[in-house]
Amino acid sequence: MRLCAFLLLLVEADPRGPRTPSCTCAGGSMTVERWLRLPGQGLAMLHVTRGVWGSRVQVRALSSLAAKMGVYRKMWNPTEPRDWAQQYRERFIPFSKEQLLRLLIQEFHSSPAEKEALEEFSAHVDFCTLFHYHHILARLQALYDPINPDRETLDQPSLTDPQRLSNEQEVLRALEPLLAQANFSPLSEDTLAYALVVHHPQDEVQVTINLDQYIYIQFWALGQRVGLMPRKSTVGSKRGFFKSPPAERRYFKRVVLAARTKRGHLVLKSFKDIPLEGLEQLLPELKVRTPTLQRAMLNVTLVVSGVAFFVNVGMVVLSDLKMATSLLLLLFAAFMGLRASKMFGQRRSVQALELAHMLYYRSTSNNSELLSALALRAHDEHTKEALLAHSFLARSPLGKHSGPEETSQWLQSEVENWLLAQSGCDVAFNGARALGHLQALTSSNGMYPPPRFPKLESLATVTLPQAAPRNDNP
C-alpha cells in the first residue's frame, strides 16, 4: 500500500507526466503545441490543479446575512447596495467573438493581409484551447455526476447527506476558476441582503424565504445594465387601474445560482435578464406573498362589499326571519372569512402562475447543462481576451524590454478605454491574464503536448458507499 502511494507521488511529481499522442490539424500546418504556458510561471490559461480544487469555497454565513438584512430594513427606501461601485465591477466583454473581430478589423487590421492574419490567429486560439476546455468540462462533469439529479444513466449507490454535501462543495470549488475565466463576478453578501429586503414597486409578484431552510446561497452575475427590462422578463399582471409606466432598472444579462436547502440538494441554475431586486425570486423553497398595497386594496374591497351585503341582506334577514343578532353576526363572519380566504387564495395562485411564467422565459440552463454552458463561455472569453491583447500589443509604444507588469497595466488601460468608447460599458479588463494567454500561445512551437506541459491532476476522490447487488433495473 505504501509502495503504491510512493509510486503515485512520483508520477504526480514528474513534470512530463504520461505522454499523450500528438495531433495536428489538416495539412500539418498548425499544431496544438502552442499551448498557453508562461516561461517560469506555469500555466497562464485556466486549468484544474490541486491548488484550485483545494481552495476554500465561499459559503454564505447565513447568520451574518440575516444581520445585514436587518440593517437594510432600517434604511429608508434604499436604491442600491452600499458602495455598489466598489462591490461590483463588470468584467464581461460585451461583444461576441464575431463582433469583436469586425471591430478590431475596422480599427487595427484594415488591410486584406492584416485581416486574414487576424482571422488565422483567431482560429489558432480556438484550435489550441478547445481541447483544454473540453477536458476540464469532462472532469467537472465526472465530479458532478454522483450528485446530478438529472442523471439518465443507471442509479449509483445512494450517498449519505454528509457525503453529498462534501461532493457539492467540491463541485463549487471546481466552478470558481471556470466562472472567473467566464468573467462572472460573485455577488457579495451585502448585495444579497439588499436583494432579499428591497422590493421594486413594479414587482407585483413578491416572495418570501426562510433563511433557516438554506445551508448556502451564492450568486454570480455578468452584463450589468441599467434600462428598461425586456418585455417577456417582466413580472406582474397587466391588469389594474394603478399600473405605473415601465421604469429603468438595474439588471444583469446572466445570473448563476448555487443554493442548497437542508431538505434538498445542490441547485445549479442560470437565468437571463434578472433585476437586482429580483434575485430572491430565483431561490428554491420560496413562498409567494401578496404585497402590502394589494392586501390593503383587497381588504378595503372586502369591507365595502361586506357592509353593503350586511345592510341589504342581513338587515332583511334579521327583521323578517327574527334571527338572533349573535347568530347572524356569526354567520356573516364565517361568510366573510370564506370569501376573504378565496380572494387571497385566488390572488396568490395568479401570482404564482405569473412567477412560473417569468421563470420559464428567464431560465437558460441548469445542472449538468449549466456546466457545459460555462465551459463554452469561458472558452469564448478566453479567445476574446487573447484577440484584444494581440491587437493592442502589436501597436504598443512600450519597448521590448518593458516588464510584464508595466505591459499588463498599459494593456488593461488601453483596452478598458477602447471598450468604453465602443460599447459605453465600463469593463474591468484583466490585462495580466490576457497577456499571459497571448504569451503562452506564442512561447513554444512543435507538437502537442510540450515536454513540460503540466497535466490536469486527478480530481478529488469521491467516496461512494458500497451497495448490495441488485437484480432489478431502474
pLDDT digits (tens, 9 = 90+) for 226-264: 988 876 545 544 444 455 677 788 999 999 999 998 888
Among candidate residues 268, 230, 284, the one with its CA nearest the CA of residue 252: 230
What is the average pLDDT value for the chain, to the nearest integer?
76
pLDDT at 199: 84
Predicted confidence band of residue 276 (pLDDT cuts 50, 70, 90): very high
Predicted confidence band of residue 64 (pLDDT cuts 50, 70, 90): confident
CB atoms within 10 A of CB 248: 10
**Dihedral angle of Cα 339, 340, 342, 346, to the nearest 10 degrees:** 140
pLDDT at 24: 36
pLDDT at 324: 67
Which pTM value belongs to this model? 0.73
pLDDT at 403: 81
Predicted confidence band of residue 290 (pLDDT cuts 50, 70, 90): low
Is residue 36 within 8 Å of residue 45, measured between CB atoms?
Answer: yes
| Burial profile 212-240: b = 16 or more Cβ within 10 angstroms, e = fewer | ebbbbbbbbbbbbbeeebeeebbbbeeee
pLDDT at 248: 85
Is 201 a residue whose pLDDT tops 80?
Answer: no
* DSSP string of 77-133, one letter each residue: S--S-TTHHHH-------S-HHHHHHHHHHHH--SHHHHHHHHHHHHHHHHHHHHHH
Measured between alpha carbons, how far is residue 454 from residues 34, 35, 49, 224 in Å?
14, 11, 9, 36
Highest mean pLDDT among 28-37, 198-207, 304-313, 406-415: 406-415
Predicted confidence band of residue 400 (pLDDT cuts 50, 70, 90): low
Is 63 a residue whose pLDDT tops 70?
Answer: yes
> How far is residue 223's CA from residue 236's CA, in Å, rounded to a whole number?
24
pLDDT at 318: 63
SS3 of residue 270 by DSSP: strand
Is residue 223 within 8 Å of residue 254, measured between CB atoms?
Answer: yes
pLDDT at 88: 94
CB atoms within 10 A of CB 72: 17
pLDDT at 293: 66
pLDDT at 58: 39
Please list, in sequence order, all residues whose beta carbon lies within 8 angstroms of the beta carbon of residue 246, skipping any fewer than 6 positions away. 202, 228, 229, 234
**Ramachandran region, residue 239 (left: φ > 0; alpha: ψ -120 to 50; beta: rest):** beta
For residues 268 and 48, the model is more confident at 268
Cell of 298: 383587497
| Burial profile 162-197: b = 16 or more Cβ within 10 angstroms, e = fewer | ebbbebbbbbbbbbbbbbbbbbbbbbbbbbbbbbbb
Residue type, 137: L
List, for residues 340-359, the tens digit of each pLDDT value: 777 777 777 777 778 788 88
Least confident segment among 20-24, 163-167, 347-351, 379-383: 20-24
**Dihedral angle of Cα 106, 111, 115, 117, to the nearest 10 degrees:** -140
**Strand-pair partners of 365:** 270
